[in-house]
Amino acid sequence: MKKIFVSIVLSISLLKASADEGMWLPMLLGQQVYNDMVKKGLKLTKEQLYSINKSSLKDAIIIFNGGCTGEIVSNQGLIFTNHHCGYGAIANASSVEHNYLKDGFYAYNKDQEIKSEITVQFLEKIVDVTKDVEEAVKGLAWADRIKKLPEVLKMITDKVEDKENGLGGRIYSMFKGNQYIMYVYKTYNDIRLVGTPPESVGKFGGDTDNWEWPRHTGDFSIFRVYAAKDGEPAAYSTENVPLKPKHFLPVSIKGIKDGDYAMIYGYPGGTNRYETSFGVKLKNEIENPSLVGLRDMRLKYMHEQMVKDPAIKLKLAENYARIANYWKFFDGETKQLLKFKTFEQKQQYEQAFIKWAKNKPAYGNIFAEYAKNYESWTPYSKHRQYINEGIVGSPLAAFAATLIPLEDALINKGAESAEFKKAMAAATSKRKAFLDAEDRPSDEKILAAVGMMFYTDIDKNQHPEDFYENLSKTYGDLNDEATYKKWAKDIFTNTIFLDDAKWDAFAAKPEASILQNDPAYIFAGTFVKNYNKKYAPLYTAFVDKNNELGKAYMKGIMEMNPDAVKKMYPDANFSMRVSYGNVKSYKPRDAVQYDYICTGKGIIEKYKAGDYEFDLPSKQIELMKKKDFGQYIDKGRNDLVVNFITTNDITGGNSGSPVIDANGNLIGLAFDGNYEALSHKIAFDKDLNRTICVDVRYVLWCIDKLGGAKNIIDELKLVK
């Protein structure tokens, strides 16, 4: 009985990708997985999904700006991605006078398209390099292996690098270092902004609706890839021409039904589905709550400022959105991990593994070692979060901390050394970026708050020596907020980093004492150096050991379940994946049923004039009330379908990914996951997990009816 139970747990909760779980490597799709896709409704051949020699779907999928996905939708290099992926570029192109973030923007001809700092990457080919890697590190102990690995990987990617043609390789470790696969990319860097809806549409519902269904967001933006006349990558130039892609996605406006096949290509950033119970516990008890508490505080002070003034809003918008997005994610993640009892499930699985591993020298000790490793790191884990999310959560302190190498170079090599000159040039450009996004009032409040939070929440034995004693001597009671406010005010008043004249004087005649006496540098430098000296080495050792154990654990899992290996997929790591599933409604909790689509009616229901998150352009209200939906109408609902949900397995990085129908046409853009399954990085829930997508008909309606950009619609290949 017990044995059967164990093997069921093994195959259901961890191993075989159940239901629509799975982020598959498109070039290594096993026959079993492909057959399952066909069973679900796919009408394409394996070659149409991925081919090296012929154009295939993968050629239309790009990495958008290093962290999102985009897709090519016309024969002139037109890109669709999410609004939240284009957000920074849109904010950068905006000013208070031409506020594209607020009002939206469309280029009505190519001359109006706006240059951006975006880059995109096309996948050229994929090579399994496991043998080359293993050969080069053969026989090495773990510590030597990881020391040598970067140089080995570089040697392999150097062979495919061709700067002139924008070619470069990146090697991904799969199955926790049990396999190495190289992706070769071609990078283009003349990417122009073609269109965006106003933020009220592109981010409708804001952080209140973020990570939630039902959702009514027009989360799309439009860009274009430009290339030299020969189609090769080239720096921005008016001579460049729109790229002729190998493949682009036709756009279907036929509409969707519950149960329809849906496939998502893209670049999921990271999952850890083979996380241990130890990792889950540390996350739930320390890492996530610390991060959430610190971000709560930072967001509050930023938000106070952003609502006051559109110029400040533009300055802080990108950082605020980034911080808020994963603030809500990590809060929700812990809630769902607890709800699904993931810790207990992992423990159960580990017990079975331990039993299997007994008397097997390669595996027998893994969990005893995990326990030891976590035990030694756990006391410092909160400290690490307070550095990363707290101390350098103040933009001023974050900038100051980047100057540590500058101080080192100055002291050790001197002001005339090449090292120092290089560090100084880097500091000058970092300072500019810092000042462009700096809002003093919110930063000062953050710095004061974090000074106090660190004092209160972190073990006194770990505080940097003398720091708080000195602070107290000048400013008073360490348990009083007012103390930290005075202290922070002095930092902001006296630092040279916010004062051009003083900074320039330092640059002209650099002396270490100037840095060493700067109050912002004293603060950031003291905390960061204390961490780097005493705790960072412990963290590195912890991570290295975890990786060593993880590799062995993964290998053991595969050995223990040889039959299930065919249906195993490697954790997400920002390499291209395909996931398949269906459009599907769900029951989030007892007695509640969620529809698989939502409509314009819901937009009007949520609309709140003048609200920070739920306002809308008046034109949108008018058109919706008139039911002016043109060819984008959903006849069944006699309304616009705005968003829909699918069972696909995706995660951050997939943002902007195409949702593709059984015939290879674009039906929507994936942009989020649902709250009830936010455990998904660690535990995919087959009943509750949903991907939230913007219906492409709503995208086209926004472009056409709201934006009047018929030129863009004319460029697409519509399937009606």
Task: Quote the least distance from Cβ 57 to ligand ARG, whole Å.
Answer: 22
Separation between Cα atoms, residue 705 and residue 710, nearest integer Å: 8
Contact call for residue 521 and ligand ARG (CB under 6 A): no
Using the minimum distance from each CB to ligand ARG, give the nearer residue, 196 or 240: 196
Read off the DSSP letter of residue 687.
T
Contact call for residue 210 and ligand ARG (CB under 6 A): yes
Q: Which of 30, 206, 289, 602 binds ligand ARG (CB under 6 A)?
A: 206
Segment contacting ligand ARG (CB under 6 A): 28-36, 113-121, 320-328, 636-644? 320-328
Phi, psi of 460 (to 5 degrees): -55, -30
Q: Residue 105 region, left (φ>0) first, then alpha (ψ -120 to 50), else beta? A: beta
User: 68 pairs with which residues across the strands?
Assistant: 64
Using the minimum distance from each CB to ligand ARG, give the nearer residue, 59 or 672: 672
Contact call for residue 642 and ligand ARG (CB under 6 A): no
Task: Quote the least distance from Cβ 128 to ligand ARG, whole Å.
Answer: 30
Place of tokens 């995919």: 684
Contact call for residue 211 and ligand ARG (CB under 6 A): yes
- Output the DSSP codes for 476-519: --TT-HHHHHHHHHHHHHH-STT-HHHHHHHHHS--HHHHHT-H
Identify the H or E element spanning 123: strand 120-128
Segment contacting ligand ARG (CB under 6 A): 23-31, 88-96, 206-214, 481-489? 206-214
Phi, psi of 234 (to 5 degrees): -150, 150
Contact call for residue 44 and ligand ARG (CB under 6 A): no
Task: Quote the least distance from Cβ 569 to ligand ARG, whole Å.
Answer: 21
Using the minimum distance from each CB to ligand ARG, give the nearer residue, 56 or 81: 81
Which pairing describes strands 251-252 and 718-719: parallel, antiparallel, or unpaired? parallel
The interface mask with ligand ARG, positions 79-118, x = CB under 6 A, is -----x----------------------------------
Phi, psi of 632 (to 5 degrees): -95, 0
Q: What is the largest CA-CA distance in the chain?
A: 78
| Residue ranges in 346-385 that form contacts with ligand ARG under rule CB under 6 A | none
Catalytic residue among 13, 56, 83, 84: 84
Segment contacting ligand ARG (CB under 6 A): 177-185, 205-213, 353-361, 389-397? 205-213
The interface mask with ligand ARG, positions 663-682, x = CB under 6 A, is --------xx----------
Pair 268, 570: CB distance under 8 Å: no
Catalytic residue among 221, 655, 657, 679: 655
Separation between Cα atoms, residue 654 and residue 472, nearest integer Å: 48
Catalytic residue among 219, 331, 518, 634: 219
Pair 357, 364: CB distance under 8 Å: yes
**Catalytic site residue 98?**
no
Amino acid (one-letter) located at 578: V
Separation between Cα atoms, residue 277 and residue 577, nearest integer Å: 27
Phi, psi of 96 (to 5 degrees): -60, -35
Q: Which of 319, 325, 462, 526 binds ligand ARG (CB under 6 A)?
A: 325
Separation between Cα atoms, residue 101 and residue 114, nearest integer Å: 13
User: Burial level of 75, CB count in 10 A (0-12/13-18/19+)?
Assistant: middle
Q: Which of 203, 216, 281, 295 binds ligand ARG (CB under 6 A)?
A: 203
Segment contacting ligand ARG (CB under 6 A): 201-209, 242-250, 463-471, 569-577? 201-209
Contact call for residue 655 and ligand ARG (CB under 6 A): yes
Contact call for residue 215 and ligand ARG (CB under 6 A): no
Question: Which tokens sit at 706?
Answer: 């709201």
- Output the DSSP codes for 530-568: HHHHHTHHHHHHHHHHHHHHHHHHHHHHHHH-GGGGGG-
Using the minimum distance from each CB to ligand ARG, give the nearer residue, 648 or 655: 655
Task: Quote the least distance from Cβ 84 to ligand ARG, whole Å.
Answer: 4
Contact call for residue 331 and ligand ARG (CB under 6 A): no
**Catalytic site residue 83?**
no
Using the minimum distance from each CB to ligand ARG, give the nearer residue, 652 or 664: 652
**Catalytic site residue 579?**
no
Residues 6+ away with beta carbon under 8 Å from 24: 33, 569, 577, 578, 579, 580
Residues 6+ away with beta carbon under 8 Å from 215: 205, 209, 598, 643, 672, 692
Residues 6+ away with beta carbon under 8 Å from 252: 661, 663, 665, 666, 667, 696, 718, 719
Using the minimum distance from each CB to ligand ARG, give the nearer residue, 314 or 452: 314
* Nearest to 716, CA basis, from 661, 666, 670, 656: 666
Using the minimum distance from each CB to ligand ARG, give the nearer residue, 322 or 421: 322
Segment contacting ligand ARG (CB under 6 A): 162-170, 204-212, 465-473, 634-642? 204-212
* Nearest to 536, CA basis, from 696, 404, 657: 404
Task: Quote the least distance from Cβ 81 to ligand ARG, whole Å.
Answer: 11
Q: Where are the beta strands (DSSP E) in 372-479?
A: none
Contact call for residue 207 and ligand ARG (CB under 6 A): yes
Task: Quote the least distance from Cβ 689 to ligand ARG, whole Å.
Answer: 15
Amino acid (one-letter) located at 612: Y
Contact call for residue 319 and ligand ARG (CB under 6 A): no
Q: Is the dihedral of CA 568, 691, 652, 335 positive or negative?
A: negative
Segment contacting ligand ARG (CB under 6 A): 203-211, 287-295, 384-392, 536-544? 203-211
Residues in contact with ligand ARG, total (CB under 6 A)? 13
Contact call for residue 652 and ligand ARG (CB under 6 A): yes
Task: Quote the least distance from Cβ 30 to ligand ARG, whole Å.
Answer: 29
Contact call for residue 321 and ligand ARG (CB under 6 A): yes
Contact call for residue 212 and ligand ARG (CB under 6 A): no
Contact call for residue 606 and ligand ARG (CB under 6 A): no
Using the minimum distance from each CB to ligand ARG, give the nearer residue, 210 or 373: 210
Task: Quote the least distance from Cβ 444 to ligand ARG, whole Å.
Answer: 25
Task: Quote the least distance from Cβ 296 to ligand ARG, whole Å.
Answer: 15
Contact call for residue 69 and ligand ARG (CB under 6 A): no
Phi, psi of 583 (to 5 degrees): -65, 130
- Output the DSSP codes for 15-59: ISPPTT---B-GGG--HHHHHHHHHHT--S-HHHH--SSS--GGG
Q: Which residues are catalytic?
A: 84, 219, 655
**Residue numbers at the binding site for ligand ARG (CB under 6 A):** 84, 203, 206-207, 210-211, 321, 324-325, 652, 655, 671-672
